[in-house]
Structure 1
Amino acid sequence: MQRSLEEYPGITPFEGMASGVAALVRHLPAGSPATYYCIHCLVDKANNILGDLTTLKDDDWKNWQGRPEPCKKILELLLRLTSLVDIQVLPALMKSLAQLIIQLPKTGQIMVLNELYAQVAESDDVTRKPALVSWLQSLSYLSSQAKTEVLTSRGRKENSASPGTIEPNARL
């Protein structure tokens, strides 16, 4: 896995790497350290590629279904892993994915969240679906708050949360 990621996206074909990761995750025992390591390596590679793509334009993120960049492919693989990993590994994967998604530009966050919503909505897995729904709601909230923090750091109006977001101290 580590060697494949070292040469990705140059030499390593994504399809072969993705099938290897899926096979690893499916056939290892529940909670295997190798599964955690595999996820950690994928997240590290996505972070490295994402650091190189700071100039990615909004239009590139809008074309999610088109010919995705290497970072988008790794993100898609990590999204698919939410339905493949065992329930013991799922919280670590959700935490790593959340950290990656929050780093994306706003358009990228929206595209990834939409993809996740669609994947969870289609799922029939009664074990992981409640956790994923709760996680997605929290992630959507964090994503909207990240936008607010960026605006406040630029000296704009401090209470600039988008309509429909819940303020932290709001009463229900």
Structure 2
Amino acid sequence: MEEKQSNKKKWLLALLLLLLALGGIGAYFLTREEPKPVSIVSGEFLPEDKDASKISGAELKKMAQATVDRSKFNMVIAPEATFETSAQAGELIIQNPTHNAYPVNVEITRNDNGELIYTSGAIQPGFEVKEAKLEKNLSKGDYPATAKFSLYDDKTKEKKGEVAAKIMIHIKN
């Protein structure tokens, strides 16, 4: 009989534990809150189309060509410059054609020692230098040199690029 009572107590204990577990699970589901969707309205909304129209193919080509034209640059400098003496103005031809988009500054340096011998200052598109005076005294002779064209944005004064050309400087006396 003791054994029956012992088995009965075990069953009651197991049943009680099962009921407690089911009660805990039930209480969890009954007391938890379901997430509710929240509407958020922020900022302004894009209005409907009104006056805008698609850019035509011809206009797109024109815009692309304008961009290409701004990126083109033709440098024009005579391959030789001749001076009677380095103290006198001599023939030095530099041009910035009208189709170039940017003003330039030209610096001429000697190839043998890197010495700067001439600076043009700003040359706007459509302007040229025909005659110039060197900034350094040079004795009679021929001087291989490099003319560096620096391109600048006329509005921002920001440097846009550089190109260079070889030139020969002749000093006669």
Judge same fold: TM > 0.5, yes or no. Answer: no
TM range (shorter): under 0.3
Q: Of Structure 1 and Structure 2, which has the larger fraction of its residues in helix?
A: 1
When normalised by structure 2's length, the TM-score is 0.22
TM (norm. structure 1) is 0.22
Which structure is higher in strand share? 2
